[in-house]
Amino acid sequence: MLELPEAFKEKMKGLLGKEYQAFLESYQQERVQGLRVNPLKTDIESFLEEAPFHLKPIPWSKEGFYYEIEDRPGRHPWHEAGAYYIQEPSAMAAAELLDPQPGERILDLCAAPGGKSTHIAGRMRGEGLLVSNEIHPARAKILSQNIERMGIVNAVVTNEDSARLAQHFPEFFHRIGVDAPCSGEGMFRKDEAARGQWSPDHVKLCAARQLEILSNAAVMLKKGGRLVYSTCTFSPEENEQVVEAFLDSHEDFYIEDAGKIPGLSQGRPEWSKSKREELKYTYRIWPQLTEGEGHYLAVLRKKGEISEETVSVSAQSVRDGKKKPSPRDREDEKQFKEMWDQVLADSVGWNLKGKWIFFGEQLYLLPSQMPDIHGLKVMRPGLHVATRKKNRFEPSHALALSLKPEQARQWYDLDSQSQWPIRYLKGETLTLDKEASSHLTGANGWILITVDGFSAGFGKRSSNMIKNHYPKGLRLMC
């Protein structure tokens, strides 16, 4: 059995009573593993027909599936192509309750490493605006990488404190997810660091921080909007009592009854200081009752009618908003269009919604509903499209991952059962096989590499050879 903090065991014994023994015994069991299908890349039916894994549906997630340890999906080429995201099953419940819709403006306030953001983005289908925020720079970088891997085109990654975001986005978002930093009790079965860090004082510190974050999120939510608060801890101080304190100081919010959800238990109103009855409409996931780690979730609604006004940033050229082009601007547009026409099929078109902006020599497409980003710490201002080099533009890896084969001028498919996907992911040069599935124009130049139809990156064709352009920092080492 895992060595749990004695103070934690005494606390849970007092809270759970006769349920405590089953709770304690759950720590002797192997934790379950989960993956979530990426609807931006495939549909669930096709994935289940073709996936080489042993999968079982997760009750509370449409796209979620348990897998067996021996499946090792993290080492399969489909993982690098963003066909799915490996995620702890309980954590999938938050985005389900948030219920994101295409075209909305949505904030994932504590987003790293990206599980909930990529879940939300899949439901948005590339329409609307997703702002994914993470206060810690190193974790924000990982978040950005996962946004890229999953082929997401409408997300902006920020690296901000929630208070500064609140100043920038008053009553802006239709939905907000707050997966708050917590004492991590629900992760004790898989995270030794969480067990070592735990203390009653740490729980109190987390609760104070959670209430502050939740209050800042409230400022950014539109009237009529939905906010989902979640933690991966059991402590009432961080769950029912935080929600209770928030409602006491925010009379314009109420707990929304989202109905019964398979695998999710009701919250524990008796663990709240005032025993507010509506806390029974919040949710808990218990390891002794279901296949998942500990989690708490509450759906909060802001009173009022949601307005239908939109925030729009009109499409602009590579000139980055300048009214009069300079000679270099005109040359940029010419070179960029040359790259664009070589890489993309005619059906993709030249006019995309959004604003073209440069970060240094990197060209991004800022989502059309994102307002001015001046003054914000931005890690990723939308879709990274290309890099400006001397006398040319090169398409980005993010652009490749956002494409379907039919959107590319040329594409070449690698069979995941062959040696070639791994060799590509290691950075090796490829040789064209006439019998392989492909669409080739015969021209040299950029070509989209796919694995079983999932976009994986770019190569550059020269006759029957393809020079590898898979990013060096992502290449497999063994």
**Which residues are designated catalytic?**
232
- The structure tokens listed for 186 are 């629900």
The burial of 142, by beta-carbon neighbours within 10 Å (0-12 exposed, 13-18 middle, 19 or more buried), is given as middle
Of the chain, the end-to-end C-alpha distance in Å amounts to 34
How big is the CA angle at 317 (ends 315 and 319), to the nearest 5 degrees?
135
Backbone φ and ψ for 231, nearest 5 degrees, come out as: -140, 165
